[in-house]
Amino acid sequence: MRGIKQIIRNPILISGLILVALAGISLWMAWGKKIVKKSGGELFFGQFESFCVNQFCLNKEEGSWVVNDTKTKVPANSEAVEMMIGKLKEVKLQETVSQNSNKFGEMGIGRNNKVLVIAGNKKLELGNISSDYTGTYVRENEGSTVYKTETVLDKENMVTPDYWSKKTISNLPRFQIKKVTIKRDGKIKEVIPKEGRWEDEKWIDKVALLNSVKFLDGFKPDQSNKAEIEAETEKEKVKLILGKNKIDRKTDVYWVSNEGKYYFEIKKEDFDLLTGISN
């Protein structure tokens, strides 16, 4: 009792307590309720064979991921897809941030251009990345609660189909390549490093890492002018099928495919470099 009387008689302490109380009330008024953590809250479970972001989907077909926007199917960057699946499985609706719908817009929630991730019967609306970059504001579709997940989900990139599209055709550890086999015009040539060095360093660099210009939708390759390059490491093989299509007198399209199903345009200089060693 004596301690309480001393507090009551101390105007500075009383003022401090009042300020703390007012700050708590202000926070409650601003966000709807204080941040609360609870256990559990996992949203996405099990194996992913597909998920959608707004109007397009990523589907696994014959072991490979594709971007499907109902009009075209484009090979997807499997690494980016698998990484995102890992992040989605980490999403937990545990940390309640707000139930005040008037404040949702400040967190990027409930806007006209909202971004939805859909997997199975679950729909998750993505908001802004938190100001400390440690998580993302989210809510279940049309839900009354905004949560902060500890997973960073960049909706600005995710909502663009091109972000998911495959652009890298080969990506091998250059110093682990032990043999390259080239087939062209009925001839077969094997190239191996001698004392750790290749006869053309620029060529092996391009075999190891080849990027495309763009995906060729509905493309029909000219099979009469093609070359095949197969690069091997101890753990994997990558096959490149390359060719050239003449569009008109002045225009050629240089293309590449891994398995003869999807085709990508590559630069002329890359085509010339890759096929030049077979001459």
Strands of the 179-184 sheet, one edge to the other: 187-191, 179-184, 226-232, 237-246, 252-257, 264-265, 214-215
Helices (H), 222-267: none
Nearest to 164 by CA among 41, 66, 250: 66
Largest CA-CA distance found in the chain, in angstroms, rounded: 101
Quick one: pLDDT band at residue 203, thresholds 50, 70, 90? very high
Q: Which CATH class is domain 168-276?
A: mainly beta
Q: What is the pLDDT of residues 175-196, one digit of tens each?
A: 999 999 999 988 999 999 998 8
Percentage of the chain lying above the pLDDT 90 cut: 68
Compute how many other C-beta atoms are within 10 angstroms of the C-beta atom of residue 266. Answer: 22
The pTM score is 0.75
Question: Which amino acid does the sequence have at 52?
Answer: C
Per-residue pLDDT tens for 31-77?
444 455 554 567 877 788 899 999 999 999 988 999 998 888 999 99
Half-sphere exposure of 190 (CA within 13 A, CB side): 5
173: three-class secondary structure by DSSP:
coil
* Domain range summary for the chain, segments of one domain joined by +: 34-164, 168-276
User: Would the pLDDT of 17 be above 70?
Assistant: no
Write down how long the chain is. 279
